[in-house]
Structure 1
Amino acid sequence: MNKEIIHTQDAPKAVGPYSQAVAVTGARTVYLSGQIGLEPHNGELVSESFEGQVKQAFANMLAVAEAAGGTKENVVKLTLFLTDLGKFGTVNTIMADIFPQPYPARSTVGVASLPKGAQFEVEAVVVL
């Protein structure tokens, strides 16, 4: 297996032992690390607002997908992490504005906390 590490300055740098994304040659499936609502250039949460964090997390995820050579149409699987599952409807509304049909597969997990006090995180699998 040959792995290629994907990195872009248009998304926040890793804040732990992980890469923004890893591509595996052959089928060219790219596994994106989770993105929270960090502003790419200063590494701070873009907003205290849940909606603002969700939008920025998706923007960060799409920036990494684009750095790997993909677009939102190449996203085949999302995993969402929310600190408050009561806000799931907000995520659905934002996702419907971002992703065209057919939508990617998705899992959603309620969690006690996320890095840097974030309220939302998204990770993705992209096939090119």
Structure 2
Amino acid sequence: MQRLNSEQAPKALGPYSQGMMTGGNIVFLSGQLGIDPATNQLQEGVEAQAKQSLENIQNILGTIGLTLENALKVTVFLKDLDNFSVVNDIYASYFQEPYPARSCVQVAKLPADALVEIEVIAEKA
């Protein structure tokens, strides 16, 4: 296994890695909040948090030469499912067809009181 770590993504808030790649080239990224790695502060608002989450994911994938095009499965966690359409529009601007499989769920609370968290499973071809 290979640990993934990007200085262009926020440090883990707990005892976990930003991502791990198996010997079979499957990549599992931990959920990314909308934390700006330059300031270590959570962005304000669901739109800014969703964009920053996806930027963080891109930066972690980039450490091994991958992009969002390598994503197989995405899970989106929302504090309020009423924000689904807003986050969906942002999501659509980052991914292109064929879109990865995806789940989107509402959760009671996210770390750091975030509004959105996104995790990815990808493959290094």
TM-score interval for Structure 1 and Structure 2 normalised by the shorter chain: over 0.9
Give the corresponding residue for 1:66: 62
Partner of 1:16, secondary structure, is coil
8 Å Cα contact 2:19-2:30 kept in structure 1: yes
Deviation for aligned residue 1:6: 0.6
In the alignment, the residues of structure 2 paired with residue 102 and residue 64 of structure 1 have an alpha-carbon distance, to the nearest angstrom, of: 21
Deviation for aligned residue 1:67: 1.2
> Which runs of no fewer than 5 residues in structure 2 stay unpaired?
none
Partner of 1:56, secondary structure, is helix
1:15-66 deviations in whole A, cap 9, x for unaligned? 101100001112x01000000000112221022x111111111111111111
Deviation for aligned residue 1:120: 0.1
Deviation for aligned residue 1:68: 2.7
Give the corresponding residue for 1:51: 47
Deviation for aligned residue 1:113: 0.7
Q: TM-score, normalised by structure 1?
A: 0.93
Q: TM-score, normalised by structure 2?
A: 0.96
| AA of the residue aligned to 1:96 | A
- Number of aligned residue pairs: 124
Give the corresponding residue for 2:15: 17
8 Å Cα contact 2:46-2:87 kept in structure 1: no
In the alignment, the residues of structure 1 paired with residue 120 and residue 68 of structure 2 have an alpha-carbon distance, to the nearest angstrom, of: 10
Q: Describe how 1:87-102 pairs up with structure 2 within 5 A.
A: 87-102=83-98
Percent identical among aligned pairs is 43
Larger displacement relative to structure 2 (11-20 or 66-75): 66-75
In the alignment, the residues of structure 1 paired with residue 14 and residue 30 of structure 2 have an alpha-carbon distance, to the nearest angstrom, of: 11
The structure 1 segments of at least 4 consecutive aligned residues displaced by more than 3 Å after TM superposition are none
1:79-121 deviations in whole A, cap 9, x for unaligned? 0000000110011101111111110100111101111110000
In the alignment, the residues of structure 1 paired with residue 103 and residue 48 of structure 2 have an alpha-carbon distance, to the nearest angstrom, of: 21
In the alignment, the residues of structure 1 paired with residue 26 and residue 65 of structure 2 have an alpha-carbon distance, to the nearest angstrom, of: 11
Partner of 1:58, secondary structure, is helix
Give the corresponding residue for 2:36: 39
| AA of the residue aligned to 1:53 | Q
| AA of the residue aligned to 1:8 | S
